Structure 1
Amino acid sequence: MRRLRSLLLGLLLGPGLALGALAQVQLKVLGDFAFPPYSSLRGTEPVGIDVDILHELGRRTGVQFHIELVPFKRVVESVRAGSVDGGMALLRSAEREGFALFTGVMHNSTYSLFVTRDSKMAFDGLASLHGKRIGKVRGFFISPEFDAEVAAERIQLHETAGAEQGLHMLMLGRVDAISGQTVVTRYLARQLGYADAVRPLPTPLVPDRPTFLVLSRASKLPDKEALGERLRLALEAMHRDGSIERIEARHLQ
């Protein structure tokens, strides 16, 4: 019976990733060091929702994930260069498709503009941001349209190493608003004592979009396509059976 189960699992994994081969796969994956509650450092230990998702994904697939948390721009640049095997958790874009193989969804993200509580600023499209100073985490992708407005110097972009720095800049009046993942920015505002001092504008800057575990197309990892499909199927199963929802609940309670 044990041999039969191994054979069936080998068939599910595909010809390039039979059970023995998959168990030997080790992936170095980078994530954002300043993105709580999804990923952050407790001392030197990576913790957070996305970290726990990878731990569970590894348990189910046999893949050994070696997670390192760094500034987000380095995540993107390392995946592009192939100096790591993968990255988490990236929004999809045509430009990133060129250097990253997108596997399964880790979590969904809504990005909002956060302002101080007494701000009179309104947002009803990118034109309403003309002349405004907007903070954004370095390396984060909003949209091609936003990038075009910045390139045309109609929006003054101020990049930060992390969301926490952006909140400090907002409170100091150095920017008019910051772009932030809604769950992360609310979480950090509570941690920093800013919960009553900042608020998101009603209209999202970026509507709800999935973020992915990606593999670097430039890495020397063999059988990337087959491995990516296996990771995608396992992540989908984790969403279906409620595992990811339970992980999120533990961190957000």
Structure 2
Amino acid sequence: MLKRGFLACALLCCIAAPRAATHAPFDCGDIAVAFYEHGALYYRDGNGRWTGIDKDIIDELGKRLGCRFHGFVDSRVRIWTNLKGNTLPMSVSGLATPERLQFARFVPYFTARNYVLLQKNTSPAVHDLASFLAEPSYKVAVIKSFKHGATFEPWLSELRRQGRVYETADYSSLMRLFKLGRVQAVLALNTSWAPLVRQRDLGEGVKIMDWAPKDVIVGGLVLSRQLIPEATAEQFALALHAMREDGTLRAIFTRHVGAELAAGMFNF
């Protein structure tokens, strides 16, 4: 149902001919867009300035469509609350669910999947979801309000039933728990852990486990059905399609996660 709903929404936003996006700028006016800090999607660079895939996507849309985006940083929980309450027009890198499709349209621009980051001293016997469950003292941390896909959600539900899940407000808090050893595992998209590996912030010996290789998480623009006209959503979809076709998306992904991971972010 989730996949069908998402595809229906994506098709709704992409009904015009893709190459029509080469016309003169489409003035969509002033739009507030909420960002959230999360790995390569949105982070501070070495000079303390905000950067990331999501910022580059929004900047490029502004150039192509003439939109005046007013970005700000907020927690993911407040973002979803405000979108649902029709007080926020737009956010980024959101995952569609049947509930969310009631109040928002989603325009996809990347795919990823969740990996499990394990502490280096976890038991060698822990090699999949079932064996982690079998270690009653082991806990996992996730970001509150995040959705983790078909494989991980039932697993997390069982861990929650056993009181073995920490829910954090943001990515920084998630990684702090992990580095302090308060939890044995965290769930992270490859767009999240890849920059940490490149910067060596994870340290040597952290185990990166691919326990759901068939899962696909589709991230996209999140557009309020009440506050963003459907015609504007269609223009966003056209522009993103053009960015994919002309190599702009690949260049943005490569800049933040490297060429190897970037190549696998187009399965939408």
Structure 1 length-normalised TM: 0.79
* Residue in structure 1 matching 2:39, options 36, 49, 53: 36
Q: Which residue of 2 aligns with 1:230?
A: 235
CA distance in 2, matches of 1:195, 1:112: 17
CA distance in 2, matches of 1:55, 1:41: 16
Q: Is the 8 A contact 1:79 1:86 kept in 2?
A: yes
Give aligned pairs, total. 232
Q: Which residue of 2 aligns with 1:110?
A: 113
Asked if 1:195 is matched to 2:203, the reply is: yes
Q: Is the 8 A contact 2:140 2:185 kept in 1?
A: yes
- 1:82-231 to structure 2, matched below 5 A, reads 82-103=86-107, 105-120=108-123, 122-125=126-129, 128-129=132-133, 131=136, 132-143=138-149, 144-146=153-155, 148-150=157-159, 153-154=161-162, 156-188=164-196, 190-191=198-199, 193-204=201-212, 207-219=215-227, 221=228, 224-231=229-236
Closer, same or farther: CA 126–60 of 1 in aligned 2, 3 Å: farther
Closer, same or farther: CA 85–45 of 1 in aligned 2, 3 Å: farther
Q: Which has the higher strand share?
A: 1
Q: Is the 8 A contact 1:35 1:184 kept in 2?
A: yes
CA distance in 1, matches of 2:143, 2:82: 17
Unpaired segments of 5 or more residues in structure 2? 1-16, 259-268
- Write the letter of the residue equivalent to 1:207: D
Give the aligned CA root-mean-square deviation in angstroms: 2.8
Q: Could you tell me how far 1:51 is from its partner in structure 2?
A: 0.5
Q: Could you tell me how far 1:41 is from its partner in structure 2?
A: 4.2
CA distance in 1, matches of 2:109, 2:185: 27
- Write the letter of the residue equivalent to 1:233: L
Q: Could you tell me how far 1:115 is from its partner in structure 2?
A: 0.7
Q: Could you tell me how far 1:109 is from its partner in structure 2?
A: 1.8
1:108 aligned counterpart, secondary structure? strand
Structure 2 length-normalised TM: 0.75
Closer, same or farther: CA 35–239 of 1 in aligned 2, 3 Å: same
CA distance in 1, matches of 2:71, 2:89: 11
1:159 aligned counterpart, secondary structure? strand
1:37 aligned counterpart, secondary structure? helix
Q: Deviations over 1:188-221 (max 9, x none)?
A: 35546323142211323882322010111243x4
- Give me the identity figure in percent: 23
Q: Could you tell me how far 1:252 is from its partner in structure 2?
A: 3.4
Q: Could you tell me how far 1:250 is from its partner in structure 2?
A: 2.2
More contact order relative to length (CA 8 Å, sep ≥ 6): 2
CA distance in 1, matches of 2:114, 2:214: 5
CA distance in 2, matches of 1:191, 1:99: 38
2:147 aligned counterpart, secondary structure? coil
Q: Which residue of 1 aligns with 2:5?
A: none
Closer, same or farther: CA 19–237 of 1 in aligned 2, 3 Å: closer
CA distance in 2, matches of 1:158, 1:92: 23
- 1:3-14 to structure 2, matched below 5 A, reads 12=20
CA distance in 2, matches of 1:145, 1:214: 25
CA distance in 1, matches of 2:206, 2:101: 35
CA distance in 2, matches of 1:129, 1:123: 11
CA distance in 2, matches of 1:136, 1:175: 10
CA distance in 1, matches of 2:214, 2:96: 13
CA distance in 2, matches of 1:206, 1:46: 32
Higher radius of gyration, 1 or 2 = 1
